[in-house]
Amino acid sequence: MAQFDVHRLDDTYLLDCQSDQLDGFNSRIVVPLIAVGTIAREFPRLTPRLQVGQEEFVMATHLMAAIDRRLLGPSVASLVQERYTIQTAIDVLTGSG
């Protein structure tokens, strides 16, 4: 599993935000990617829009959680090119940015 890979769990896309240096743990820190228009209020720095294939999603950073890595299937996309945007959203959530 790689940081900033997108995995599908049932009908939800999950963005893996955990450092690759922590790959030995049985859990991964993930953020759900939800359909545009389903979040009550978007904050561009906290809930940026990200493209997965031809679809646009909102990164629901405020819903970040740990999940058992065995629940994550194979990667369906990589958002490593959005590293700065993703890291900024996490920094806003934790008060670092």
List pLDDT tens digits, range 37-73: 898 888 999 999 999 999 999 999 999 999 999 999 8
Note if the pTM is more than 0.85: yes
E strand or H helix at 34, and its extent?
Answer: strand 27-35
Beta-carbon count within 10 A of 39 CB: 15
9: which strand partners? 12
Beta-carbon count within 10 A of 34 CB: 16
Spatial CA neighbour of 6 closest among 71, 62, 73, 63: 73
As a whole number of angstroms, the longest Cα–Cα distance in the chain is: 36
The pLDDT of residue 97 is: 63
Task: Report how far residue 66's alpha carbon sits from residue 48's, in angstroms, rounded to the nearest whole number.
Answer: 20
Pick the residue with more confidence: 96 or 31?
31
Q: Read off the pLDDT of each residue in 16-44 and give the average, rounded to a whole number.
A: 91
For residue 59, how many C-alpha atoms fall within 13 Å in the half-sphere facing its CB?
30
- Listed by start position, the domains of the chain span 5-94
CATH number given to 5-94 = 2.30.30.110
